[in-house]
Amino acid sequence: MSIQWFPGHMTLARNEAEKTMEFIDVVIEVLDARMPEASCNPMIQELRLFRQRPCLKILNKADLADPAVTQAWLNFYNQQTGVKAVALSCKNSSDAAKVPKLCQSLAPHRDSNHKPLRMMVMGIPNVGKSTLMNTLLKRRVAKVGDEPAVTKSQQRLAINTQMTLTDSPGMLWPKIEHSEDGLMLATIHAVGRNAVIDEEVAEFLASVLLARYPALITARYGFALDELDGMGVVEAIAKKRGCLQRGRGGLLDLEKAAMILLTDYRSGALGRISLETPETRKARDDMA
């Protein structure tokens, strides 16, 4: 299954970001800690490298990710030139409060009323950019929703007299090269539902869980995993939770079962799960 989703407003967002990049000092790129590279937009890196802007990579929703894997990703990013990485939860005010100081360390020359630190928040849809804005400014300045493409235009706000923050719409990129990346993005609802088939996304997620976190499936749903594959897990959830199609003679409702699995994953009800590691990413890229 190849997932592609690039609505027209994202082209406008990319063009606006390119113009704004000239006038900012630090890019704050919000990633999903459960899949940092899959949720890393190559267009953002292209824009910031062209303008030679440093980057604070925020591995958001770290409370939902495998902590050992998150640490491996922090080590990976913090070895990159001009990059500082931190794992946090943008909903947590004490976590969000760390962000301005971290950005200041990347642009120490911007530290006064005459030279305020200018930051821009960027990232793909539904990774927590608006939540970060609201938490940092301690008021609701950006609309938040558990769906992609909530923010559709830039806004610039002052944190204080020495710091400004520009929020930009979530941007994907025109062509997702690897189908696995598209499926990972679909599991966190970073693409519109019209671009995905929930049963196929849930099958992919279940396959990863079988390979890396099988005990969490059993703990959540209470069935044995003997000889099950990804779709077998979805079917077993349907049976366990009584997901049946109305008026169809007891046929399983796999779409409903798929949404149970995806919702449990997205909310953290399944446990702390990371879908990729630096090692799995490198192995895949070496095979490409």
CATH at residue 41: 3.40.50.300
pLDDT category, 161, cuts 50, 70, 90?
confident
Q: Which pLDDT score, from 0 to 100, does residue 149 have?
A: 43
Give the domain range for residue 159: 8-167
Q: Tell me, yes or no, whether 3 lies in a domain.
A: no
Helix pair angle (230-240, 254-267), 10° resolution? 100
Backbone angles phi, psi at 282, to 5 degrees: -65, -40
265 and 207 in one domain? yes
141 and 73 in one domain? yes
Quickly count: other Cβ atoms within 10 Å of residue 115's Cβ: 12
Report the alpha-carbon distance of residue 222 to residue 16 in Å, rounded: 49
Q: Tell me, yes or no, whether 116 lies in a domain.
A: yes
Q: Tell me, yes or no, whether 267 lies in a domain.
A: yes
Q: Which pLDDT score, from 0 to 100, does residue 97 have?
A: 93
Identify the CA nearest to 217 among candidates 176, 166, 273: 273
Mean of pLDDT values over 194-206: 90
Q: Which residue has the higher pLDDT, 196 or 147?
A: 196
128 and 44 in one domain? yes
Backbone angles phi, psi at 30, to 5 degrees: -90, 125
Mean of pLDDT values over 192-217: 91
pLDDT tens track for 175-192:
777 889 889 999 998 876
Report the alpha-carbon distance of residue 177 to residue 185 in Å, rounded: 13
Q: Tell me, yes or no, whether 187 lies in a domain.
A: no
Question: How many structural domains are present in the chain?
Answer: 2
Q: Which residues of 45-79 are buried (b: 16+ CB within 10 A; e: fewer)?
A: eebbeeeebbbbbbbbbbbbbbeebbeebbebbee
207 and 142 in one domain? no
- Alpha carbon distances (Å) from 59 to 48, 62, 73, 126, 146: 18, 6, 9, 13, 18
Check which CATH number belongs to the domain holding 228 and give it. 1.10.1580.10
Report the alpha-carbon distance of residue 107 to residue 25 in Å, rounded: 7
Answer yes or no: is pLDDT of 104 > 80. Answer: yes
pLDDT category, 195, cuts 50, 70, 90?
low
**CB-facing half-sphere around the CA of 126: CA atoms within 13 A:** 18
Given a contact cutoff of 8 angstroms between Cβ atoms, the answer to whether 85 and 78 are in contact is yes
Average pLDDT, rounded, for the chain: 88
Q: Which pLDDT score, from 0 to 100, does residue 143 have?
A: 58
Given a contact cutoff of 8 angstroms between Cβ atoms, the answer to whether 117 and 163 are in contact is yes
Q: Which residue has the higher pLDDT, 256 or 145?
A: 256
Answer yes or no: is pLDDT of 147 > 50. Answer: no
